[in-house]
Structure 1
Amino acid sequence: MAIVLYHGAANGPSLAVLAALAESGVAVERRPIDLLAGERHDLPGVDEPLARDMGIEGEGPVLLVDGEAMTESVFLAQFFDELSDVSSLQPADPFAHWEMMMWCRQITERLSPAAALLGNLAFSRGRLAAMADADFGAMADRIVSADLRARWEVLRDGAVDPAQVEDSRAKVSQAVERCEGKLADGREWLMGALTIADFETFAWLAGMEQIVPEAFADKPLTAAWLSRVRARPSVTAALADAGGDSTRFWAPGPEINRWG
């Protein structure tokens, strides 16, 4: 089985997958790509591109397995975990496993679109706005999903609804509140034991500390948890590989939830 992981800088979904991969000990060829240059849409050897082209995560990592493009960071983390002989990032108890998956779904449906919007506005818009129209058009033409292509265009044009920005900031604050509440019983990790939920949540929240600092004020449990995740060798290695502040690297993410 030929496996290649294409990933962006260690932030958002790429960080979650890189951390899970390192924890798993699975041997995979890693190929960094520039997500903000649209390189994800022109990968070699993709025979089955549907998940890459129509996935809801946006510009996340792509795992290429014998020509099949696999996407969505939680699913990729599960894939590596289930291949692993050395670690387990998923609870064996059925209820605990359901709880972890529900937590991850709330993160991917509520926090990740909000964080992606705020991160891209802070750090990505300038680069896209500086692109020549022809260059941006050629890149956008390779994006199969009309929804995703529209998010690229809105980001470049700066035609963002201010109400979405405020709602996104509120959702970051809500995610931090949920973490603080989850950690209130003295547990080290969100689900008790270390799971995929810790890496998925950290990957989207870590970059928000500098963008929505008020969300983290007076949240000592969440601050300590962020430090613990950041200190995991798997995360430390991914961040070191990125070079510089990887929380400043963003690319268009999931579509904003229209239903609140």
Structure 2
Amino acid sequence: MENRIVDSVAAGASAMPHDLTPWGLFLQADPIVKTVMLLLVLASIWCWAIIIDKVRRLRRLKAQADAFEDSFWSGGPLDDLYEEVGKRPQDPMSAVFAAGMREWRRSAGRPGVVDSRGGLQQRIERVMAVTVGRELVQIERYMTFLASVGSTAPFIGLFGTVWGIMNSFAAIAGTKSTNLAVVAPGIAEALFATALGLVAAIPAVLAYNKISSDINKYGARLDAFSSEFGAILSRQLEEAA
């Protein structure tokens, strides 16, 4: 009897996973749990790539906007500034300025056409508003992916958790034993899948909130510049009338 107990304990010990590192848990996992883990890891890597790209881009855009506003408000002729940045705008703010100046020149330069001040002003404002929207769409690209990962990754990890626990119950039913050596592998896989889901979701949610706030502030800055530039053109129209 004593020998049987010793043999049972030894068998249980040998059934325990020898490698409890993340890589070991992945290798020992069920194929479905492995798929869940791979999806979560790939989603996390892609999220971090998006986060780094957005942070760098927003910093660059803010610096470019500061430099452009310094040139715009320096008091120099707008025509000279347009000749400098109009053909190839380097940032959204200069693109908004170029769109407004392009419409101004196109309407004011048509010989023999008498254009109403209200109609020209509305067209300029509409063109700049369209440009602002188009530029913001480019800046917000891939933000939906961050939101999707932040909201779905915990549930994907939960699916891996449920599947791992199901494997544990299946092992219990197959061996008719509640020995820790029987249930531990499935539980370890389940907890690891849950952890990966949280690792993917938490940075995605935090980054989405922060980057969305920064994009909204930058969009408000573009709208403010568009309104100020429209007011300047409107005054020039009134002076030319």
Whether the TM-score (by the shorter chain) exceeds 0.5 is: no
More helix by share: 2
* TM-score normalised according to structure 2 size: 0.30
TM-score, scaled to structure 1: 0.28
